[in-house]
Amino acid sequence: MRSKLGFFSDEKFRSIFFQTLVVGLFALGLFFVINTTSYNLEKRNIATGWSFLNNPAGFDISFSPFLEFKSTDTHLKVYFVGVLNTLLVSVTGCIAATILGFILGIVRLSSNWLLSRLVYIYVEFSRNVPLLLQIILWYSILIQLPRVKQSLQILDVFYISNRGLYSPRPIFESGFSYVSIAIVLALISSFLIKRWAKKRQDTTGQQFPVFSSSIGLIFVIPLILFFILGSPLSFEHPEMKGFNFKGGLVIRPEFIAMFLALSIYTAAFISEIVRAGIMSVSKGQREASAAIGLKQTWIMRLIIIPQALRVIVPPLTSQYLNLTKNSSLGIAVGYADLVHGFGGISLNQTGQAIECMAIVMATYLSISLTISFFMNIYNRSIQFKEK
Amino acid sequence: MKKLLSIFAVAAFAFSANAGTLDDVKNRGFLKCGVTTGLAGFAAPDDSGEWAGLDADMCRAVAVAVFGDRSKVEFITTTGKSRFPTLASGEVDMLARNTTWTISRDVNLGFEFVGVNFYDGQGFMVPSALGVSSATELDGATVCIQTGTTTELNLADFFRLNGISYEALPIETNDEGKENLFAGRCDVYTTDASGLSSTRAAASNPNKWKVLPEIISKEPLGPLVRHGDHQWGDVVRWSLNAMIIAEELGVTSENVDAQMSSNVPEVLRLLGVEGNYGEMLELSNDWAYQIIKQIGNYSESYEANVGPDTPLEIARGLNALWTQGGILYAPPFR
């Protein structure tokens, strides 16, 4: 005979009941949030909608290396400038953090006591000091550089001041496109050569100097072509005019501060991931490869790293995601990223807080999911292949 | 389940319901007032850590009107960007944060500007050593600019109109602007002229800095509240007006007690001796008396915080009474 609580002793019923309850409460919560928001927006006479995206921004953004931006451009363009700037600092930051992280992770395992201790101190320092402070620290150092009129001059072409690093800007003339085509063709053929050489080595055991032949293809042939075409490349040098340097390429201190802080901070985490990955490869592997007479560098490259990568890549992906999301701290030093430009200035000038924030959040979500997607593909490619 | 639903409904109602701000403030026991992160003369902590300045006085005046006690106020700092969400979300009861009254803020953002406590205009400040005498000579300069402000938009307009270029260095707070200007990261700092005077006064050697003659915009700065709560809007509006009217009538914190037996009818109405204006506002009848007694009239607040005898050295100019060549004007107290 079932008691009143009999249903609850049925596991299936219980599980369905609680799941329905949770989903129901969640939906109810969501409903109230949306309801309350729209009610309050209406009550406070706050206009909503997306039409503001096509209104002129009215303000200027000076840091826009990829798109020309004028104050008459729309808020939509502010958004694109922001996305590009976010991607710029995230991509360069991820590359630098990966390289630095791998080097540090390997050095940390070195038998050299001093080197490994130094890396240890570096890792503990940068992991345990808040990123925001590190960004502000770098920025404070950079704006203490000489003023623009007293710029440090290096090799007569580079100028360093607290307004940034000025360097000559390459100007590609008409014939240069042939050189670019040659470089692309060389890259493709080196890739094909590498595949062919691997296949040949697998079947016949004969080796082919892939590295040196690729270097020859990628550098030497385009270089010869470059001189045959009469050096179709010139440089525009920065010149001091009035208040600022005019012309040339400039890297702003806001970007440098963000880049340094993000890559140095994330590199500390990556170095620990790399260290863990390498240590996860069993000692027997190293001993066995040493026993068959492989060189120390080969052991690392052919035996240890490929196995370590299986452990390294998943947490590495989340570090890339972290770095990308952390780039939103650019607002602290006025770096014109997505949050600062669109999610900050546009939001404030138009008052469309909910719309702007929704767009910014959706954008970060898309960027993160894209990174995860490609990293997952890479992760699958390095897993053990069951044959 | 029914019980749960009703709890939710009540919670949602409490969340969305908006009782009168005046009642909220009275129940809470103190006023929450949004001010700048620190702009000497307008709102900045003084040597003893007390908030002082023209805007801080505005906050205190409202606190006095409601509680009769100038200390019943919590100052909440807001940046140029955070100020509007802070007010809209109800985190503060009012803003007195040198905020420019514009149509879009008044209408589209859902706020209510209740008056003007400082008539300002946007100016430029440069190092004297730069040798610049007019803003039109600033072609190619790097300009420090607070984001999310009307000055940011005026700046773009001004340079566009004059066909000259500039590089904007976006900053969040006045302190950041100061730091970047003093370090030479930017050549020019632009904000309201009063803000420039305040920044200049805070420099180690003010003579090294020069405010250019151009004033490129009108910036009426005033306190604001959320749109729709007219009772609360009236309290803030008339706290400001009471200070202006007190100056017109020559009532000061010094002579306010003597003025209680004045023979001028408007003085008696202002001080609550005659009429029941306090009741109309749901305040005590001596609310204006207390403001004048504890804070002073507009002139006293001005002279103590931004006037010629302070480091800011801002002459009354537009901010003089309408009877004295300015445009400061309050509707009659009757």
Which DSSP string corresponds to A16-49?
HHHHHHHHHHHHHHHHHHHHHHHHHHHHTT---S
| Residue B17: predicted pLDDT | 41
Give residue for tokens 């958004």. A79
- Is A241 an interface residue toward B (CB < 8 Å)? yes
pLDDT-derived band of residue A174, with 50, 70 and 90 as boundaries?
Answer: confident
CA distance B72 to B74: 7
- Is B91 an interface residue toward A (CB < 8 Å)? no
Task: Supply the CATH classification number for the domain B21-119+221-324.
Answer: 3.40.190.10
B313 has a pLDDT exceeding 90: no
Within 7-26 of B, beta carbons closer than 8 Å to A belong to: 8, 11-12, 15-16, 18
3-state helix, strand and coil shares in percent for chain A, rounded to the nearest 5: 70, 10, 20
Strands of the sheet containing A164-167, edge to edge, are A152-154, A158-161, A164-167, A249-251
- Is A351 an interface residue toward B (CB < 8 Å)? yes
The answer to whether the Cβ–Cβ distance between A243 and B171 falls below 8 Å is no
How far is CA B211 from each of CA B4, B156, B172, rounded to the nearest angstrom? 63, 19, 21
CA distance A299 to A306: 10
| Residue A5: predicted pLDDT | 65
Burial of A117 (0-12, 13-18, 19+ CB in 10 A): exposed
Burial of A381 (0-12, 13-18, 19+ CB in 10 A): exposed
B105 has a pLDDT exceeding 90: no
- How are beta strands B118-120 and B51-52 bridged, if at all? unpaired
Amino acid occupying residue A131: L
Task: Supply the CATH classification number for the domain A43-144+251-387.
Answer: 1.10.3720.10
CA distance B23 to B61: 17
Ordered by start, the domain boundaries in chain B are 21-119+221-324, 122-217
Average pLDDT across chain A, whole number:
88
Instruction: Give per-residue pLDDT as tens, B239-294.
Output: 999 999 999 999 999 999 999 999 999 999 999 999 999 999 999 999 999 999 99
Determine the average pLDDT of the residues in B156-173: 90
Instruction: Give per-residue pLDDT as tens, A25-58.
Output: 999 999 998 888 888 777 766 677 888 899 888 8
Give residue for tokens 């149509």. B103
- List, in order, residues 6 or more apart from B306 with CB less than 8 Å away: B41, B42, B53, B54, B118, B194, B197, B198, B312, B314
Q: What angle do CA A120, A121, A127 make, to 5 degrees?
A: 90
Give residue for tokens 């209408």. B107
Structure tokens at A186: 């060389």
Q: Considering Cα of B97, then B101, then B104, then B107, what sign does the dihedral take?
A: positive
Residue of B nearest to A71 (CA): B156
Question: Chain A closest CA to B259's CA: distance in Å?
Answer: 42
pLDDT-derived band of residue B13, with 50, 70 and 90 as boundaries?
Answer: very low
Please list every residue in chain B whose beta carbon sits closer than 8 Å to the beta carbon of residue A39: 16
Q: Which of B107, B139, B171 sits opposite A334 (nearest CB)?
A: B171
Question: Chain A closest CA to B266's CA: distance in Å?
Answer: 36
> Per this entry, what is the length of chain A?
387
Determine the average pLDDT of the residues in B11-36: 77
CA distance A358 to A100: 35
The answer to whether the Cβ–Cβ distance between B140 and A334 falls below 8 Å is no
CA distance B333 to B264: 12
- Is A36 an interface residue toward B (CB < 8 Å)? yes
Please list every residue in chain B whose beta carbon sits closer than 8 Å to the beta carbon of residue A241: 140
How far is CA B42 from each of CA A43, A189, B142, B330, rounded to the nearest angstrom? 32, 69, 27, 21
| Residue A39: predicted pLDDT | 82
Count of beta carbons in the 10 Å neighbourhood of residue A118: 14
The answer to whether the Cβ–Cβ distance between B110 and A46 falls below 8 Å is yes
> Which H/E stretch holds residue A239?
strand A239-241
Question: Is A358 in a helix, a strand, or coil?
Answer: helix
Amino acid occupying residue B235: V
How far is CA A60 from each of CA A345, B167, B248, rounded to the nearest angstrom? 10, 8, 43
For B122-217, give the CATH class.
alpha beta
Q: Which residue blocks in chain B are alpha helix, DSSP H? A: 2-16, 21-28, 54-67, 83-88, 103-107, 150-161, 174-183, 193-201, 230-248, 256-259, 265-270, 277-280, 287-294, 298-305
Q: What angle do CA B268, B273, B279 make, to 5 degrees?
A: 115
**Fold match between domain B21-119+221-324 and domain B122-217:** yes
Backbone torsions φ then ψ of B115, nearest 5 degrees: 165, -175
ipTM for the assembly: 0.74
Please choose, from the candidates A126, A129, A103, the residue with its C-alpha nearest in 3D space to the C-alpha of residue A116: A103
B169 has a pLDDT exceeding 70: yes
| Residue A314: predicted pLDDT | 93
CA distance A166 to A160: 6
- Is A334 an interface residue toward B (CB < 8 Å)? yes
- Is A28 an interface residue toward B (CB < 8 Å)? yes
Q: Which of B105, B110, B140 sits opposite A44 (nearest CB)?
A: B110
User: Cα-Cα-Cα-Cα dihedral of A7, A8, A10, A14, to 10°?
Assistant: 110
Q: Which of A35, A61, A244 sits opposite B140 (nearest CB)?
A: A244
Please choose, from the candidates B134, B173, B135, B129, the residue with its C-alpha nearest in 3D space to the C-alpha of residue B154: B135
Q: Averaging pLDDT over each range in A203-207, A267-271, A340-344, which range is the top one?
A: A267-271
- Is A358 an interface residue toward B (CB < 8 Å)? no
CA distance B209 to B198: 12
Within 139-158 of B, beta carbons closer than 8 Å to A belong to: 139-142, 147-148, 152-153, 155-157
Q: Which of A72, A148, A246 sits opposite B184 (nearest CB)?
A: A148
B54, B113 Cβ separation under 8 angstroms: no
Count of beta carbons in the 10 Å neighbourhood of residue A224: 12
Instruction: Give per-residue pLDDT as tens, A242-292.
Output: 788 887 888 999 999 999 999 999 999 999 999 999 999 999 998 999 999
pLDDT-derived band of residue A68, with 50, 70 and 90 as boundaries?
Answer: confident
Q: What percent of chain A has pLDDT over 70?
A: 97
